[in-house]
Amino acid sequence: MSSTGRAGRPKVSSRETLAEAACELFLERGYDATSVADITQRAGVSRSSFFNYFASKSDVLWSGVDERIGQAVRSLEQLAGSATGESVRDILLLIVRDFAPDPLALALRNAAAMGLEDELVRDTGLRLARLSSAVSRAASAAGVDVIRADILGAAHAAAVLSSLRVWAEQGAGQGAPETVLRQALGTIHDLPWS
C-alpha cells in the first residue's frame, strides 16, 4: 500500500514529489514568494529531505540538466587531445537525448508566470560558462588556438542551452530536443574545428 502526500496523490520518490510541489508553487505564488519551507510543506517531507536532493530552490529546476552537463564535461575531459568537432557534438547531443519534459522545461515555458525570467538568465549563464569552458578546453587540448577554442566553446554551449529553451517554449513533448540541437549545431558549421 502506498502512502499519499496531499489527498489523492500517491507518493512517488521524494525528489519527484519535491519537484512537483515546487513547480506548483512557482506557478501559484511565483518563484520569489515560494520558500523551501513552502515546498517541503506542500510535498509532505522534511526540510532535511529537501537538502538531501537539492542544494537550493533553483536546483529543483536544474538538477536533471546539471547531471547531464556533468557527464558531458567528464566525457569531454576524457577526449584529451583527440577532440574533433564531430566527437564534441556527439557528446553534446547526449545532454538532450531522451530528455523528457521536466521542471526546467516547465519553468522555461512558464518563466513569466513563475516570475523566473531573471533567475533563468542567471542560472543559464552559469551552465553556459561551465559547458563553454569544457568544450574550449577540449578544443585547446586538440591543438586549436585559444581564441578559436573559446569561440567554439561559447557557440556549442549556446547551441545546447538555446535548444533546450526553444524546445520547451514550443511545448516540451511536441518534438525532441535532440532535433532542435542538431539544427542549432548546423548553424555553427561555419566555425570549423581547425
How many Å separate Cα 95 from the centre of its chain?
Answer: 8
Percent of the chain with pLDDT over 70: 92
Task: List b or e across 119-143, with b for residues whose CB sees 16 or more CB atoms inside 10 angstroms.
Answer: bbeebbeebbeebbbbbbbbbbbbe
Residue 10 φ/ψ, nearest 5 degrees: -65, 140
User: Is residue 177 classed as helix, strand or coil in its secondary structure?
Assistant: helix
pLDDT, tens digit (0-9, with 9 covering 90-100), for 166-181 = 999 888 667 889 999 9
pLDDT, tens digit (0-9, with 9 covering 90-100), for 50-90 = 999 999 999 999 989 999 999 999 999 999 899 999 999 99
Alpha helices in the chain (DSSP H): 14-29, 36-43, 47-53, 57-79, 85-96, 103-109, 111-114, 117-141, 146-171, 177-187
Q: Check residue 119 and give its pLDDT.
A: 92
10 Å Cβ neighbour count for 191? 13
Check whether 3 has a pLDDT greater than 60: no
For all residues of the chain together, what is the average pLDDT?
89
Strand partners, 4: 10
Average pLDDT on 96-107 reads 90
Residue 56 φ/ψ, nearest 5 degrees: -155, 175
Q: Check residue 194 and give its pLDDT.
A: 67
Q: Check residue 175 and give its pLDDT.
A: 80
